[in-house]
Amino acid sequence: MEKQHNWPLWEIFIRSKQGLDHKHVGSLHAADAAMAIENARDVYTRRMEGVSIWVVESKYIHASNPDDAAAFYDPANDKVYRHPTFYDLPDELKHM
């Protein structure tokens, strides 16, 4: 078996404050999940960026294929009726 020279890659998600979502901020190398969280603390929160960290080993992220983009996303272009823009809103209602 080939000797493993590189630690696996991890995707890092940081929540910047309570109540917000975790957002993807980047990736890093670590030997295991515990080390990935500490590395994320050291690499991605040293300027007060976050209050919570999620890590996922990159191999467990399944991504859509860019070649499918036309079939996946273009059909949504002409479906304006999917946006709820045809309702009459009372004037008192703000922030919609």
Partner 1 sequence: MNARHLINYSLHLADNALVLGHRNSEWTGHGPILEQDIALSNIALDLIGQARYLYQYAARLMNAGERPAVPGGPVAGAAGSPVTEDQLAYLRDSWDFRNCLLVEQANGDWGTTVLRQFLFSAYQYYFYRELRESRDGELSAIAEKSLKEVTYHLRWSSEWVIRLGDGTEESHARMEKAVDQLWMYTGELFLPADYEQSLAPLGIAVDLAQVQPLWTTRVQEVLKEATLTVPNAVAQKGGKQGRHTEQLGYLLAEMQFLQRAYPGCEW
Residues in the site for partner 1, rule: CB under 8 A? 7, 28-31, 34-35, 38-39, 41-43, 46
SS (H, E, C) 60-82: HCCCCCHHHHHHHHHHHHHCHHH
* Residue 39 CB, nearest approach to partner 1 (Å): 4
Closer residue to partner 1 (CB): 46 or 83: 46
* Residue 50 CB, nearest approach to partner 1 (Å): 15
Buried/exposed 34-47: b ≥16 CB within 10 Å, e otherwise? eebbebbeeebbee
Closer residue to partner 1 (CB): 38 or 72: 38
Closer residue to partner 1 (CB): 23 or 29: 29
**Contact indicator for 82, 76 with CB cutoff of 8 Å:** yes
